[in-house]
Amino acid sequence: MPDAAPTQVVNALVGSACGAAGQRCMAISVAVFVRRQRARVHRAAHRRLRRAAPRRLGRSRRRYGPQISPQAKARILDLIARGKAEGATCRLDGSDCQVAGLPDGNWVGPTLFTEVTPQMAIYREEIFGPVLCCLCVDTLDEAIALVNASPYGNGTSIFTASGAAARRYQQRVEVGQVGINVPIPVPLPFFSFTGWKGSFYGDQHAYGKQAVRFYTETKTVTSRWFEEEAVAGPNLSIQLQ
């Protein structure tokens, strides 16, 4: 949203899109901007990614590593190439990224696309790599409609300083996990992992403590025992089994 703090948004986008080399199901792969916010965030994200790219790839703990396999790298590079061919603007291209001393690593550098449309492969498919796709809309309602039009509904986030906008978004968006100024809205273990639509298979959303509760049938036993010769008063106990 236009009232979101640009620095916070950029840090969240860079970390969640490129963290773990983009190889996590909850990585942010698509960012939707209301147009007044677009230009400055695009520029800031571009600068941040370009500065970070040479330092982030490698083997140290503070960097992210390669793709899991040559096949994974090849798939990501194919999607990047398709994005360019379908008309998206590639502002930062990590296709030819290399790490000194590790020429055979499955490296893919941070990649940033703008002017992306929902018809493009980089929007429709989960890239599972350090690639961020940016789209623009005019209103919050358009953003909600864009999210709801997707066949998937795993997680989504809104960045805003407006409580009204956050409330409208969380109530109307058709996604199982919603973050408000939180880039990766994975819940703590005692909440359910609640994907919607094509982002969930089966009919059980049980996870963590809720899973235990779901499969637990509670029996409440209230008992009171008397001893004929007891001096003290009767004892009362309640047990849950």
Structure tokens at 196: 């919607």
* H/E segment holding residue 12: helix 6-18
Pairing of strands 30-34, 131-137: parallel
Q: Which long-range contacts (CB under 8 A, 24 or more apart) does 191-197 make?
A: 195/152, 195/153, 195/154, 195/155, 196/153, 196/154, 197/150, 197/151, 197/152, 197/153
Q: Among 25, 90, 97, 134, which one carries the catalytic annotation? A: 25
Burial of 208 (0-12, 13-18, 19+ CB in 10 A): middle
3-state secondary structure of 142: helix
Q: How far apart are CA 232 and CA 225, in angstroms?
A: 12
The answer to whether residue 25 is catalytic is yes
Phi-psi region of 87 (alpha: psi -120 to 50; beta: other; left: phi over 0): left
DSSP letter at 14 equals H
Give catalytic residue positions.
25
